[in-house]
């Protein structure tokens, strides 16, 4: 019995039609390219940020700004005093230790002062992050003032401010060391008195 010819492999093989995912990807790529191009065009056409407004205190002499800061601080307007003290620490005022020390005092006081809102007393600055940042900035200004000293007697002034700053934030040891180092330059005796007080506090922490 003779067999007929076998169908060829090519004739019996079925060809697969492209699936929906293969037909879809060119359209997705084209859509993605359009979105990217639109984003680039919008970014290019977007106007730049407006320039920062000029500093109204830039033309003020640093001595005038320093006196204005003192006057505002004396009236308790510390937020405004900071602007003038910052101006006083620029240009020629940057080489005067008193401008840096006054800025440090204003920063410390503003970080610690209380206020009353809706009948409740609380910190003037609501953010603890902002208060801590001002405390660190005050320390940097104290160090800047110390580096500009020209007379040993002025070191006592800075030591009193520095020691009080540590004490306000609860750093007993740092306050003690600062007062002890500054007492030989302090004719008022304040550094020696507070140094003894903090030494006693560390020796007898339960004593009041």
Q: Taking 70 as the threshold, does the pLDDT of residue 15 lie above it?
A: no
Q: What band does 51 get if pLDDT is binned at 50, 70 and 90?
A: low
Q: How far apart are CA 103 and CA 82, in angstroms?
A: 7
Q: Taking 70 as the threshold, does the pLDDT of residue 49 lie above it?
A: no
Residue 159 lies in a domain: no
- Total structural domains in the chain? 1
Q: Taking 70 as the threshold, does the pLDDT of residue 88 lie above it?
A: yes
pLDDT per position as a tens digit, 136-180: 999 999 999 999 998 888 999 999 999 999 998 889 999 999 999
Q: How far is CA 2 from CA 5, 6, 9, 12, in A?
A: 9, 12, 21, 22
Residues sharing a CB contact under 8 Å with residue 163, sequence separation 6 or more, in sequence order: 175, 178, 179, 182, 191, 194, 195
Residue 7 lies in a domain: no
pLDDT value for 47 = 57
Residue 139 lies in a domain: yes
pLDDT value for 80 = 92
Q: What is the pTM of this model?
A: 0.69
- For residue 146, the number of C-alpha atoms closer than 13 Å in the C-beta half-sphere is 16
- Domain range for residue 131? 62-148
Residue 84's domain is classified under what CATH number?
1.25.40.10
- For residue 117, the number of C-alpha atoms closer than 13 Å in the C-beta half-sphere is 7
DSSP per residue, 101-133: HHHHHHHHHHHH-EEEETTEEEESS--HHHHHH
**Tokens encoding 47:** 């106007």
Q: Compare 88 and 206 and report the one with higher pLDDT.
A: 88
Residue 108 lies in a domain: yes
Helical axes 190-203 vs 154-168, angle rounded to 10°: 30
Residues above pLDDT 70, as percent of the chain? 68
Residue 66 lies in a domain: yes
Is-contact 118 156, C-beta < 8 A?
no
Residue 17 lies in a domain: no
Residue 91 lies in a domain: yes
- Residue 117 has φ and ψ, to the nearest 5°, of -125, 120
Q: How far is CA 55 from CA 70, 73, 80, 94, in A?
A: 20, 21, 14, 17
Q: Compare 202 and 30 and report the one with higher pLDDT.
A: 202
Residue 173 lies in a domain: no
pLDDT value for 129 = 82
Is-contact 108 134, C-beta < 8 A?
yes
State which H helix or E strand residue 129 sits in.
helix 128-147
In 3-state terms, what secondary structure has residue 4? coil
**Token pair 């809102």: residue:** 117
CA 159 centroid distance within chain = 25
Q: Taking 80 as the threshold, does the pLDDT of residue 96 lie above it?
A: yes
């Amino acid at each position: 019995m003779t067999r007929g010819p076998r169908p060829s492999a090519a004739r019996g093989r079925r060809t697969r039609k492209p699936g929906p995912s293969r037909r879809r990807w060119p359209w997705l790529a084209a859509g993605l390219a359009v979105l990217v191009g639109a984003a680039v065009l919008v970014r290019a056409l977007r106007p730049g940020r407006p320039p920062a407004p000029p500093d109204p205190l830039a033309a003020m002499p640093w001595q005038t700004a320093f006196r204005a800061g003192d006057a505002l601080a004396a009236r308790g307007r510390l937020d405004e005093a900071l602007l003038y003290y910052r101006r006083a620490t620029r240009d020629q005022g940057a080489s005067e230790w008193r401008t840096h020390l006054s800025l440090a005092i204003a920063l410390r006081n503003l970080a610690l002062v209380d206020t009353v809102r809706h009948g409740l007393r609380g910190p003037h600055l609501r953010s603890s992050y902002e208060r801590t940042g001002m405390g660190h900035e005050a320390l940097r200004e104290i160090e800047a003032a110390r580096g500009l000293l020209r007379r040993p007697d002025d070191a006592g002034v800075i030591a009193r401010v520095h020691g009080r700053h540590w004490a306000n934030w609860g750093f007993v040891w740092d306050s003690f060391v600062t007062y002890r180092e500054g007492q030989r330059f302090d004719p008022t005796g304040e550094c020696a008195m507070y140094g003894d007080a903090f030494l006693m506090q560390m020796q007898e922490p339960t004593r009041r």
